[in-house]
Structure 1
Amino acid sequence: MNPTAHSTGDHRKKKDVLSAFFTQTARLSRLRSQIAALLLTTILFAVGCSTNRTRVVLLPDHDDHVGKVEVANAHGSTLIDQAGYGVTLKQQSAPAPAAPIDEKEIQKEFAAVLEKEPEAPAKFILHFKSDSDVLTDSSLARIPEIVAEIKKRASMDISVAGHSDRVGNEQYNIELSYKRAQQVSTLLQKQGVDARFIHTSSHGEGNPLIPTPDNVPEPRNRRVEVTVR
């Protein structure tokens, strides 16, 4: 057997697995933004129902992601997929195409709902020493700050996502990123955070803050991102 051909085949399989992993992660991210947008438009829809007409308005989530929502009645349907666009429904006719709604009009009509909108997620970036799951001193000092935010919100949704730079191969960096996420999770749990509320993930080198060529060290990419909702 040609060892070079065998090595190339193994590398291709690893690349395929990694590609599938990152594709699934991206799909989950898009799904989350679409669900957030849909939930918000559903609330605005309920407000519109209290009048003689029903209005549905699509707004972005806290990360400025825009989902989409289909609005339908017995006569037809229409799709809203742009932020600030809306549809006014009437029982006697099909929904008209989505049209832009003036920001002042949105604020006035849905003020009561927007005031009760959930607080934006708190985000923290922690950095690590090279080729290690050991936090830098400045990042380690931020753990109490994160714990305080979790307790203030009584959060039950804490995302801990590990990342790496592009030094080393992809599989190694996925494993290293996971170790980094696990290390932060352990530190939070030692401070009293319930493990059931912590969701860890690994992105490896696939989602850099600072794009670089392969095998170029970049300290800002050696990180864990903690999101507290």
Structure 2
Amino acid sequence: MMRAGGLLFALAPLALAGCAGPSLLLLDNEDGSSEGALAVIDEKCGNPEGSTIAGSFTRTRLAGCTPRPKGVGEDGLKPDERSLIGALPPPPARFIMYFVQDTTVLAPGSEGMIEALDRHFKSRPGAELEIIGYTDTVGKADYNLALSQKRADEIRGRLIELGFPPEVMTATGRGERELRFPTPDETENGGNRRVEIIVR
């Protein structure tokens, strides 16, 4: 299983029943959406940009220079394809916590998110956590980068106190990059002052 262009896809080998060669099966994204596309490039075809394949639950035989995807839907999956999909890990879960301006103090209402994260983590053996801190655009970029790292580290420390294994967590600050709600510079926005935790 691999990810490309926003779509999850499985490259099935020659052994797939009913296929004379390898085929490609595109599925929904991990979050259930279907945006994205995949470029299939064969240097022998003289087309450096390749052919674009898109669409959830489409199967494409990788033969010839013009791949033609065919929609199969979930009901059209083969038993071995269903088995592969069934063996996939659950999709990532995302938890977002907000902060009081210019602090590492959680905003009212965000404490409950730690409890929800704790319950989810305990139900998901072997999971890893990516903790990412952000700020709004008030202040200089370097200051905000440091503040976002402090927010990520604060949450990581609290999770360790709750018994989360340190080795399964990473904490990164991204400052005012990747705003959840795009704003001009020097704009206070509580929705951008956050830590996002991705559980995989």
TM-score by length of 2: 0.79
Query: Match for residue 30 of structure 2?
Result: 62
Equivalent residue, structure 1, for 2:192? 221
Q: Counterpart amino acid of 2:4?
A: Q
For residues 111 and 55 of structure 1, what CA distance do their matches in structure 2 show?
Answer: 15
From the superposition, tell whether residues 66 and 59 of structure 1 become closer, same or farther in structure 2 (CA, over 3 Å).
Answer: farther
Tell me the secondary structure at the aligned position of residue 182 of structure 2.
coil
Q: State the match for 1:152 in structure 2.
A: 123
- Compared CA separation, residues 152 and 170, structure 1 to 2 (3 A): same
- Tell me what 1:162 maps to: 133
- Note the alpha carbon deviations across 1:189-223, whole angstroms, 9 max, x for none: 11111111111111111111111111110011000
Aligned to 1:204: 175
- 1:26-41 alignment runs, 5 A limit: 33-34=3-4, 40-41=9-10
Larger Rg over CA atoms: 1
Structure 1 CA distance, aligned partners of 2:198 and 2:188? 25
Query: Does the alignment pair 1:175 with 2:141?
Result: no
SS of the residue 2:27 aligns to: coil
For residues 95 and 59 of structure 2, the distance between their equivalents in structure 1, rounded to whole angstroms, comes to 34
**Counterpart Cα distance in 1 of 2:172 and 2:141:** 15
State whether residues 96 and 113 of structure 2, in contact with CA within 8 Å, keep that contact through their aligned partners in structure 1. no
Structure 2: tracts of 5 or more residues without a match: none
In 1, Cα distance between equivalents of 2:37 and 2:156: 30
Relative to its length, the structure with more strand (as a share) is: 2
- Measured after TM superposition, the shift of residue 106 of structure 1 is 7.2
Which of residues 83, 87, 94 in structure 2 aligns to 1:112? 83
1:118-137 residue CA offsets vs partner (Å, 9 max, x unmatched): 21211111000000011123
More helix by share: 1
Q: CA RMSD in A?
A: 3.0
**In 2, Cα distance between equivalents of 1:37 and 1:77:** 25
Query: Do residues 50 (structure 1) and 23 (structure 2) align?
Result: no
The structural deviation recorded for 1:77 is 9.8
Shifted more, 169-178 versus 94-103: the winner is 94-103
Of the candidates 130, 139, 143, which is equivalent to residue 114 of structure 2?
A: 143
Q: Tell me the residue number matched to 1:98.
A: 67
TM-score by length of 1: 0.70
C-alpha deviation, 1:68, in angstroms: 4.0
Give the secondary-structure state (helix, strand or coil) at the position aligned to 2:77. Answer: helix
Percent same amino acid at aligned positions? Answer: 26
SS of 1:150's partner is helix
> What secondary structure sits across from 2:73 in the alignment?
helix
Change in CA separation of 1:210 and 1:37 when aligned onto 2, cut-off 3 Å:
closer
Deviations 1:171-203, CA, capped at 9 Å, x for gaps: 111110010000111111111111111111111
Out of 98, 111, 131, the residue aligned to residue 127 of structure 1 is 98
Change (3 A) 1:218 1:105: closer
Give the aligned partner of residue 190 of structure 1. 161
Unaligned runs of 5+ in 1: 1-31
